[in-house]
Chains A and B, each alone.
Chain A
């Protein structure tokens, strides 16, 4: 799956996260995460993000995440939403999303 258009999902509110995706310039996948809790949970957040993108088979795009202390389930949901929007994908493949 490729990011073909700029898209946003989520919010800046507490316990949520904002995911911004945009097309990659050089067909790479770049991920940036900033978080209120990066010290304690940075690795875990990054792990969930990577895993979610891998399941969706995202090959290229720029993914920028502003985390506000979201739990894993919210990270998965918002990353998936932003990617599906950015890839203009309307069909839901539940195996990939699970």
Chain B
């Protein structure tokens, strides 16, 4: 029965005055204001704001507690409140970024370490078994022996470029695993992207096309990939996504090679590809290296074929020009959708290769 602590939520943009107080508390804790936070759970004692924790969809961030209240029961109350607020907003499976030193603290909130970039950042999730279950599901689809390769693609939409990359990879591997990015942040829905990729890759015999997950190029593992119109990449975040791949996903499927196309157009993807060599091959990790194979892009009349170019042409209603850049299955779909009416083409983002 300590003096009364009151918890409530502050939605982004709801109260400039409270936002300012939150920002001040974050600054005191060496944390920056994050504009992607949708809601803050804040704790007040009397008029004073003594703690806050933010949620950006299913990602917890900006957790700060006023020094006088650290090590008290407040932190656990805050963790509980946060969980309930996230639940009410439909987020049950949560991720959390923090400094590696703080992972012990967040164990108390029911978060478990997933992956860590030494001295920089750690990603945790609020389940002791979710990643284990996911990997055991993957293991059931494992193909033993020889050279096992992997491609992660957004396929927004699936082009001849994607097909070429997969052909090259499948040719040089005994088995190829392809993951389609699951996050719904693209012009084409996940269902469409998955369907077109499956169709466009159906001619390859030694391939498994996997559904994507929260553990591969998702808002949780790679937030900057989904930032509209911004091409800044936080190195730590590419590291998180790539180490998660190296330490959890690749071992489950015995993947030893990862294939990417060269990336001339999109800075985010370009940076991601560059970081890939570092984090998959040379960086310190508890898991063995994964060799990164960069495959030059297939070109059409001197220009590389890319999904972003296809989307650009779609915006200009140049369906005819697209015909030579995508397989027939994709073309049929494009004609179905864009033949007469124009679809909103706003949600464009990083291309994959």
Contact = CB atoms under 8 A, between A and B. Distances in A.
B92 A14 contact: no
B82 to A, nearest CB: 10
B231 interface: no
Chain A contact residues, majority secondary structure: strand
B79 interface: yes
Contact of A32 (B73, B76, B80, B128): B128
B108 interface: yes
A11 interface: yes
Interface in A14-33: 14, 18, 20, 22, 32
Interface centre among B77, B110, B126 (most CB of A within 10 A): B110
B331 to A, nearest CB: 36
Contact of B80 (A7, A11, A34, A64): A11
B142 to A, nearest CB: 18
Contacts of B128: 32, 34, 64
Return the 9 tightest CB-CB contacts between A and B, nearest first: A11-B80, A6-B92, A66-B110, A12-B76, A12-B80, A13-B76, A12-B79, A8-B87, A32-B129
Given A13-B77, A66-B110, 14 more contacts: A6-B87, A8-B83, A12-B76, A12-B77, A12-B80, A12-B83, A12-B108, A12-B109, A14-B73, A18-B110, A32-B128, A34-B128, A64-B127, A64-B128
Interface of B: 73, 76-77, 79-80, 83-84, 87, 92, 108-110, 126-129
21 contacts: A6-B87, A6-B92, A7-B87, A8-B83, A8-B87, A12-B79, A12-B80, A12-B83, A12-B110, A13-B76, A14-B73, A14-B76, A18-B83, A18-B110, A20-B110, A20-B127, A22-B92, A64-B127, A64-B128, A66-B110, A68-B76
